[in-house]
Amino acid sequence: MEAHAQQPAADRSETSDASALSKLPLWVVAGGVIALILAVLLTIAVVGDDTLPDRLGPPIEELAVERTELSPNRIELTVRNTGPDPVQVAQAFVADAYVDFEGADDPIGRLGSETVALDFPWQEGQPYLVSLVTSTGLVIEHEIPAAVATPEPDGGLFALMALLGLYVGVIPVTLGMLLLPAMRRFRPDWIRLVMAVTVGLLALLAVDATLEGLEIAGASGGAFGGAELVLLGAGIAYLALTGVDRFLRGRRERAEGAGAGGGQLALMVAIGIGLHNMGEGLAIGSAYAIGELALGAALVVGFAIHNTTEGFAIVAPLVREQPSLRRLAGLGLIAGAPAILGAILGASVTNSELSALLLGLGVGAVVQVIVQIAPAMKDSAGRTLDALTTAGIAGGMIAFYLTGLLISV
């Protein structure tokens, strides 16, 4: 009996302890836990080194070249230490000749960045291999495929980039939107076909941008990640646009008791394409900055044809609406103008990680747009994919692919 009597007593005391803890204010409990975590981390940071052996191998020295600037008799590399150990640039040679240089006097710490300015009489159009020799004799190489003077980031450059952005972004998108009146006369089946073509266009656009983003990310040194930046951008853009869409839709439903209208869909498409065009502008701008962009009619016309398909995608959801001209112009600007911003960014401050992230944003946005448009392909029986829409999607993909052949950045 005694044993029985004691047992419940013990239980009671435990429950009262637990309730005492639960009676504490939340901030005290949370604060206590956080303090404990910090204390443990701090302890590990202090004593961890002493409890673990040193690394077996030599120091790991890594430098990623984030930006290359060429001016007469001078090559400037902005490098970032992407490895775990400090890197001291001791000497440098270009095309197998040691050169004088400035910058990076002290070791560069992890994630630290320095600019080294090398004194070298480079010749326009020639390839160069720049080699940085570290204090341990390691050679970190950077290839300049073709030396071209880096344009000064002045008003003239910005104006040129704005013009390029206008040519490849705003004008083609607006041209594509001119199809709206014709599309209004379409029978419902044709509208479904138009939507399917749009989905096809956008699907290949997403694939195209993903590949480009991964390529650029692969070329970066990866201080801030490479390929995952593209996926991160895509995920963020997709989630953000979905969130915005749900928010707008909820407001509309409360106001009008109706579902998502064509106008809103068009806006979402425009935003998605706008994000994509920013990435495209960035690629154009940075290609120009390193002298790889052949300016001229072929480029502009190629982009015009290619991006006209984007304008078509924006107005496709509007066939049953009567949008004002101002609204149409606004959509065109949202979709096209980011190309201007992208081009300026690309020509002046670009680095490959930023490009990868922005291209990723574009991908997420485009995928989100596809998800939004897909319901508009449904037939009267509620099927999304039938002979008509599959043909349309395939046609859209082929159109994007073929027009894409006209441009190469």
Partner 1 sequence: MVVETPTGGTADGSAEPGDDKLGGRLSRRRLLVSGLVAGPALAALHEALPHQGIHTVLGGEQHPAALAATGHGSSHASTTSAPSAATDAHLNGLGTAGATFRGGAAVDHRANGFNPTEILRDFDYGKTTRLPSGRILREWQLIASDKEIEVAPGVKFPAWTYNGRVPGPTLRCREGELLRIRFVNGSAHPHTVHFHGLHPSAMDGVPGAGDGIIDSGKSTVYEFNAEPFGLHLYHCHVSPLAEHIARGMYGTFIVDPKEGRPDADEMVMVQNGWNTTFDAEGNQLYAVNAIPFHYVNEPVQVSRDELVRIYLVNILEYDPINSFHVHGNFFNYFPTGTSLTPTEFTDTVIQGQAQRGILEIRFPNPGQFMFHAHKTEFADLGWMGFFEVG
Q: Which is nearer to partner 1, 74 or 252 (CB)?
A: 74
99 near partner 1, rule: CB under 8 A: yes
Q: Smallest distance, Å, CB 129 to partner 1?
A: 12
Q: Which is nearer to partner 1, 118 or 287 (CB)?
A: 118
57 near partner 1, rule: CB under 8 A: no
Burial 222-257 (b: 16+ CB within 10 A, else e): bbbebbebbbbbbbebbebbeeebeeeeeebeeeee
Q: Which is nearer to partner 1, 153 or 323 (CB)?
A: 153
Q: Which is nearer to partner 1, 100 or 292 (CB)?
A: 100
Residue range at the interface with partner 1 (CB under 8 A); choices 129-137, 164-172, 305-313, 346-354? 129-137
Q: Which is nearer to partner 1, 128 or 400 (CB)?
A: 128
167 near partner 1, rule: CB under 8 A: no
Q: Which is nearer to partner 1, 137 or 257 (CB)?
A: 137
At 111, give phi and psi (nearest 5°): 65, 0
| Binding residue (CB under 8 A) for partner 1 from 59, 85, 91, 398 | 91
Provide CB contacts within 8 A for 195, sequence distance 6+. Answer: 316, 317, 373, 376, 377, 389, 392
- How remote is the C-alpha of 326 from its chain's centroid? 30
Distances in Å between the Cα of 220 and the Cα atoms of 50, 85, 369, 383 are 35, 19, 29, 44
Residue range at the interface with partner 1 (CB under 8 A); choices 36-44, 96-104, 238-246, 361-369? 96-104
Distances in Å between the Cα of 154 and the Cα atoms of 73, 90, 348 are 21, 34, 9
373 burial (CB, 10 Å; 0-12 / 13-18 / 19+) is buried
Measure the CA–CA gap between 264 and 369, rounded to whole angstroms.
Answer: 11
- How remote is the C-alpha of 152 from its chain's centroid? 25
115 near partner 1, rule: CB under 8 A: no
Return the residues of window 242-271 that contact partner 1 according to CB under 8 A. none
86 near partner 1, rule: CB under 8 A: no
101 near partner 1, rule: CB under 8 A: yes
Residue range at the interface with partner 1 (CB under 8 A); choices 119-127, 165-173, 245-253, 277-285? 119-127
Q: Smallest distance, Å, CB 93 to partner 1?
A: 7
Strands 63-71 and 74-81, bridge-based pairing: antiparallel
Short-list 175, 203, 212, CA closest to 358: 212
Measure the CA–CA gap between 115 and 133, rounded to whole angstroms.
Answer: 15
Q: Smallest distance, Å, CB 120 to partner 1?
A: 5
**What region, left, alpha or beta, does residue 65 occupy, with left being phi > 0 and alpha being psi -120 to 50 degrees?**
beta
Short-list 292, 265, 297, 273, CA closest to 346: 292
- Name the H helices within 121-226: 155-165, 171-177, 180-184, 188-219
Q: Which is nearer to partner 1, 94 or 361 (CB)?
A: 94
| Binding residue (CB under 8 A) for partner 1 from 7, 13, 136, 408 | 136
Q: Smallest distance, Å, CB 113 to partner 1?
A: 19
240 near partner 1, rule: CB under 8 A: no
Binding mask 137-156 for partner 1 (x = CB under 8 A): xxx-----------------
111 burial (CB, 10 Å; 0-12 / 13-18 / 19+) is exposed
Q: Which is nearer to partner 1, 100 or 189 (CB)?
A: 100
- Name the H helices within 349-386: 352-373
31 near partner 1, rule: CB under 8 A: no
Residue range at the interface with partner 1 (CB under 8 A); choices 8-16, 111-119, 267-275, 346-354? 111-119
Measure the CA–CA gap between 404 and 398, rounded to whole angstroms.
Answer: 10
| Binding residue (CB under 8 A) for partner 1 from 31, 48, 109, 121 | 121
Residue 132: its H or E element:
strand 128-134
Q: Smallest distance, Å, CB 102 to partner 1?
A: 6
108 near partner 1, rule: CB under 8 A: no
Q: Which is nearer to partner 1, 65 or 168 (CB)?
A: 65
78 near partner 1, rule: CB under 8 A: no
Residue 139: its H or E element:
strand 139-144
| Binding residue (CB under 8 A) for partner 1 from 73, 109, 186, 253 | 73
98 near partner 1, rule: CB under 8 A: yes
Q: What residue ranges bind partner 1 (CB under 8 A)? A: 71-74, 88, 90-93, 96-102, 117-121, 123-124, 126, 131, 133-139
